[in-house]
C-alpha cells in the first residue's frame, strides 16, 4: 500500500521555493521572484499556498509540489498547480502526481476553513499536454467538466456594417441596466432567469450547473475584462427572459470576449444563435475591437459548427476540473 502523503500550509519562508515550482519555465528563479514580489498587486494571496514539503540534497527545506488558490469574484477559487518534472530529488512521475493530488486535496480542505462563505467552487484549467492532471485532480476529488476550446475571430471594418438583426416578432433583444438589481422586476432578476433557462439541457459544461448560485455566476461574469452593461444583452421571448449575450471588452488588447451566450429551450431552433453572434460581431467591431474571442465545450457540436461557419478558429484548449467548496 502506498505511503499516505501529507500536505501542509506553506510558510512565507518557502514562498519563493513554491513559486519556483509553479512557474516551471526557463529562468524560473527570476520569474518566481517576480511572482512573489507582484502577487499582492495582482490580488494573489500567497497565504493560500499548500503543498508537500521536503529537503534539498544539502538539507535545506524546499517545496516539492504545490497548489496555489487564488480567490476571485463569484465565490470562485482558481487553483494553480506545480507539475511533474524529471528531477531525481522529486522522485518518480508517479510519486510527483500523487503529491500534486495531496496538495490539491489539502487546498480544498483548507479553503473550507480559511475562506468560509467566500468560496463555493474551486476550479483549475489544465493545458491539454498536462496528461498527468486527470490523475492528480481526480485523486483529490475534483470532477472533469470538459475540454474547452478557445476560439477567436478577427474583426474587420466590414463587420461594423453588418445590418441590424431583424428579430422574430416574439423576440426582443435589449441592453441590461444593472445586472446586480435583484428586485422583483430588476434586470439582475431577469438576467438570472435567462441564465437559469439557458442551463436547461445545456451542452456547455453541464457539470457546472447548480454548483454556484446564479447571482455568483453573474458576479463572476462581471469580473471579466471591463464590465459595461451596454454590451450585455437580454433576450426576451413574449416578454419572458430566455437568454443572454454578454460581451466584455479588453481595451488594452483591442479585443472583446464573448463571456457567455445561451438560450433557453423555447428559444432554440429559431436561428437565434447565429443572429446573436452577428449582433455580437457587429457591436464588437463598432467598439473598435480587432478580435472577438470565446470558449466553448467541445461536446457542444452545434455551437462549434456555428462558430466555425462564421469565421472563428481555435487557438488554444484547456481541460476543466472543479470541486465544490
Residues 123 and 155 in one domain: no
pLDDT at 35: 94
DSSP state of 115: S
- Count up the domains in the chain and report the number: 2
pLDDT at 140: 97
Mean pLDDT taken over the chain = 94
Residues 35 and 174 in one domain: no
Residue 126 near residue 321, CB atoms below 8 Å: yes
**Total residue length of the chain:** 325
Model pTM greater than 0.85?
yes
Q: From CA 186, how far away is CA 126, in angstroms rounded?
A: 37
- Cα dihedral 27, 28, 33, 35 sign: positive
Indicate whether 323 belongs to any domain: no
pLDDT at 1: 55
Here the CATH number for the domain that contains residue 63 is: 3.40.630
Residue 159 near residue 281, CB atoms below 8 Å: yes
Indicate whether 324 belongs to any domain: no
Tens of pLDDT, residue by residue over 136-175, are 999 999 999 999 999 999 999 999 888 888 999 999 999 9
Indicate whether 3 belongs to any domain: no
Residues 174 and 127 in one domain: no
Tens of pLDDT, residue by residue over 86-124, are 999 999 999 999 999 999 999 999 999 998 889 999 999
Residues 159 and 54 in one domain: no
pLDDT at 115: 86
Q: From CA 132, how far away is CA 94, in angstroms rounded?
A: 9
- Closest Cα to residue 140, out of 108, 174, 188? 108
Q: Output b/e per residue, 31-61; b: 16+ Cβ within 10 A.
A: ebeebbeebeeeebebebbbbbbbeeeeeee
| Of 86, 107, 141, the domain-final residue | 141
Which element (helix H / strand E) includes 250?
strand 240-250
Residues 6+ apart with CB under 8 A from 57: 89
Residues 6+ apart with CB under 8 A from 296: 148, 149, 151, 204, 303, 304, 307
Here the CATH number for the domain that contains residue 275 is: 3.40.630.30
Indicate whether 267 belongs to any domain: yes
Query: Residue 130 sits in which domain range?
Result: 8-141
Residues 135 and 185 in one domain: no
Q: What number is the average pLDDT over the span 246-275?
A: 91
pLDDT at 301 over 80: yes
Tens of pLDDT, residue by residue over 182-237, are 999 999 999 999 999 999 999 999 999 999 999 999 999 998 878 888 899 999 99
| Of 141, 171, 188, the domain-final residue | 141
Residues 126 and 272 in one domain: no
Indicate whether 1 belongs to any domain: no
Tens of pLDDT, residue by residue over 24-68, are 765 688 999 999 999 999 999 999 999 999 999 999 999 999 999
Residues 202 and 284 in one domain: yes
- Closest Cα to residue 104, out of 133, 62, 71, 74? 133
Going by their DSSP bridges, the two strands 255-263 and 291-297 should be labelled as parallel
Q: From CA 175, how far away is CA 156, in angstroms rounded?
A: 24
Indicate whether 16 belongs to any domain: yes
Indicate whether 109 belongs to any domain: yes
pLDDT at 250: 83
| Of 113, 141, 169, the domain-final residue | 141
Q: From CA 189, how far away is CA 198, in angstroms rounded?
A: 14
Indicate whether 236 belongs to any domain: yes
Decide which of 288 and 6 is more confident. 6
Residues 34 and 84 in one domain: yes
Amino acid at each position: 500500500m502506498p505511503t499516505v502523503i501529507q500536505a501542509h500550509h506553506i510558510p512565507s519562508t518557502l514562498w519563493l521555493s513554491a513559486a519556483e515550482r509553479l512557474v516551471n519555465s526557463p529562468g524560473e528563479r527570476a520569474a518566481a521572484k517576480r511572482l512573489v514580489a507582484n502577487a499582492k498587486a495582482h490580488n494573489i494571496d500567497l497565504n493560500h499556498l499548500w503543498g508537500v514539503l521536503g529537503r534539498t540534497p544539502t538539507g535545506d527545506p524546499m517545496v516539492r509540489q504545490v497548489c496555489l488558490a487564488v480567490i476571485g469574484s463569484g465565490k470562485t477559487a482558481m487553483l494553480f498547480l506545480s507539475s511533474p518534472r524529471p528531477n531525481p530529488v522529486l522522485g518518480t512521475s508517479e510519486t510527483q502526481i500523487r503529491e500534486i493530488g495531496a496538495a490539491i486535496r489539502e487546498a480544498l480542505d483548507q479553503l473550507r476553513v480559511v475562506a468560509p462563505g467566500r468560496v463555493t467552487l474551486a476550479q483549475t484549467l489544465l493545458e491539454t499536454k498536462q496528461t498527468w492532471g486527470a490523475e492528480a485532480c481526480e485523486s483529490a476529488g475534483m470532477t472533469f467538466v470538459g475540454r474547452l476550446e478557445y476560439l477567436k475571430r478577427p474583426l474587420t471594418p466590414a463587420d461594423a456594417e453588418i445590418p441590424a438583426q431583424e428579430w422574430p416578432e416574439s423576440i426582443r433583444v435589449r441592453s441590461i441596466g444593472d445586472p446586480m438589481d435583484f428586485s422583483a422586476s430588476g434586470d439582475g432578476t431577469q438576467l438570472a432567469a435567462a441564465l437559469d433557462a439557458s442551463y436547461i439541457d445545456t451542452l456547455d459544461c453541464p457539470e457546472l450547473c447548480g454548483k454556484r448560485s446564479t447571482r455568483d455566476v453573474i458576479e463572476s461574469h462581471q469580473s471579466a475584462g471591463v464590465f459595461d452593461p451596454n454590451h450585455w444583452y437580454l433576450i426576451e421571448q413574449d416578454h419572458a427572459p430566455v437568454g443572454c449575450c454578454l460581451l466584455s471588452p479588453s481595451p488594452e488588447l483591442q479585443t472583446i470576449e464573448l463571456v457567455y451566450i445561451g438560450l433557453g429551450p423555447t428559444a432554440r431552433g429559431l436561428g437565434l444563435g447565429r443572429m446573436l453572434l452577428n449582433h455580437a460581431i457587429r457591436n464588437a467591431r463598432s467598439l473598435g475591437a480587432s478580435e472577438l474571442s470565446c470558449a466553448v465545450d467541445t461536446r457542444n457540436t452545434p455551437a462549434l459548427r456555428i462558430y466555425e461557419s462564421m469565421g472563428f478558429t481555435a487557438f488554444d484548449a484547456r481541460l476543466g476540473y472543479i470541486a465544490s467548496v
